Amino acid sequence: MSYRIISKLVDFLPPEFLHFLFLNSLKLRFFKKKKRFENLQTNVCGMSLDNPVGLAAGFDKNAEAISGIFDLGFGFVELGTVTPMPQKGNAKPRVFKIPEFEAVIQRLGFNNLGIENFVRNLKKFKKKKNNFIGVNIGKNKNSSNSFEDYSLLYGIAKDYADYITINVSSPNTPGLRDLQKKENINELVKNLPSKKKKPTFVKISPDLEEKELDDICDIALENNKIDGLIVTNTTISRPLLTTRPIKNSWKVDEAGGLSGPPLRKLNNKIIKKVYSRTKGKLIIVGVGGISSGKDVFEKISLGCNLVQLYTSLIYQGPNLVLDILSELSYLLEKHKIENINNLIGTNIKL
């Protein structure tokens, strides 16, 4: 039976419980889908990757199922968001599926077991060649000093990660997105430990004003502690959700961040702006609404070096990554592009 049929049959179960089941099936190494595509191999930050498609933050917040995630065919994995102390997150229900659009609205609020548990799990992971791992860090909701939270997490995580993502863009932690402001992001980055630095990315929101986006691009260009931008987190806007819900499992005005296909166009618009302002001098990781190889092709041609996805994995299941990679590899051949790196920023339209 296909994953889509199974997921329709169990759709009455709470999304967070289904996520728990999926994560645990990955821990048990149920799926082995890995396949190499010559034309998708890429290099970033001095590491070679089997392909440029990664798992976005939020799926494995506690670094529990890393090997199982790589089994799905991902070229890299971003773990977290992890905070210094464990925290429960917002009250349930807080994840809402929007089946009509294969989208999700959620307001989890960095529920996670804290950095101590995270590192314990990460130490157990047997790293193989080409396993590129990012750690996404965030502040505790009740933190008295946000900058200290990031500095502490960075200092610990850098010994285990290939790159670190500074998450200042989740809409579900009050005040977090203010850290994207010029003076705050400068202060935050200044406070990071500089010894044995790791490639560092800042994850931005799709809801930034034009000026704020320009500022953050300029800061990233000027500050040699920042190597790239992850574009983007979920949106508090509600693009394309124009119809009335067919199912009453969600409301248009449900608070939280929207992800999945309705985010794609807004996300691509931001990627375009970031690329035109930074002109290949920064690494751009594109994330928002990817559900096919064509979507990946589009983002890389707009200027991304790497891409990530999350929501489509919920709807399409364990075969998704291999389907995407096969389609992407075929599209490159069709357009006579020898390697995925040659697609970056070409603006080729499909």
Binding site for ligand FMN (CB under 6 A): 56-58, 61, 81, 95, 104, 106, 108, 110, 136, 167, 170, 203, 233-234, 259-260, 263, 287-290, 309-312
Give the closest residue to 34 by CA, choosing from 116, 128, 142.
128
Helix axes 264-278, 210-222, angle to 10 degrees: 50
Find out whether 58 and 81 touch, Cβ atoms under 8 Å: yes
Report how far residue 299's alpha carbon sits from residue 287's, in angstroms, rounded to the nearest whole number.
Answer: 9
Nearer to ligand FMN, 95 or 217 (CB): 95
Question: Rounded to the nearest whole angstrom, what is the least distance from the CB of residue 72 to ligand FMN in the complex?
Answer: 14
Nearer to ligand FMN, 15 or 342 (CB): 15
Catalytic residue, chosen from 143, 169, 170, 205, is 170
Report how far residue 348's alpha carbon sits from residue 141's, in angstroms, rounded to the nearest whole number.
Answer: 42
Question: Rounded to the nearest whole angstrom, what is the least distance from the CB of residue 59 to ligand FMN in the complex?
Answer: 7
Nearer to ligand FMN, 44 or 287 (CB): 287
Find out whether 137 and 147 touch, Cβ atoms under 8 Å: no
Nearer to ligand FMN, 170 or 305 (CB): 170
Question: Rounded to the nearest whole angstrom, what is the least distance from the CB of residue 195 to ligand FMN in the complex?
Answer: 25
Structure tokens, 51: 């392909």
Q: Where are the beta strands (DSSP E) in the chain?
A: 42-44, 47-49, 53-55, 76-82, 95-98, 103-106, 132-137, 163-167, 200-204, 228-231, 257-259, 283-287, 306-309
Instruction: Tell me which residue has its CB nearest to ligand FMN.
Output: 58
Nearer to ligand FMN, 170 or 316 (CB): 170
Known catalytic residue at 194 = no
- Please compute, for residue 124, the number of CA atoms within 13 A of its CA located in the half-sphere on the CB side: 11
| Partner residues linked to 333 by β-bridges | none
Find out whether 220 and 282 touch, Cβ atoms under 8 Å: yes
Question: Rounded to the nearest whole angstrom, what is the least distance from the CB of residue 247 to ligand FMN in the complex?
Answer: 18
Nearer to ligand FMN, 296 or 337 (CB): 296
Find out whether 162 and 195 touch, Cβ atoms under 8 Å: no
Question: Rounded to the nearest whole angstrom, what is the least distance from the CB of residue 336 to ligand FMN in the complex?
Answer: 29
Report how far residue 317's alpha carbon sits from residue 311's, in angstroms, rounded to the nearest whole number.
Answer: 10
Question: Rounded to the nearest whole angstrom, what is the least distance from the CB of residue 270 to ligand FMN in the complex?
Answer: 12
Q: Known catalytic residues?
A: 170
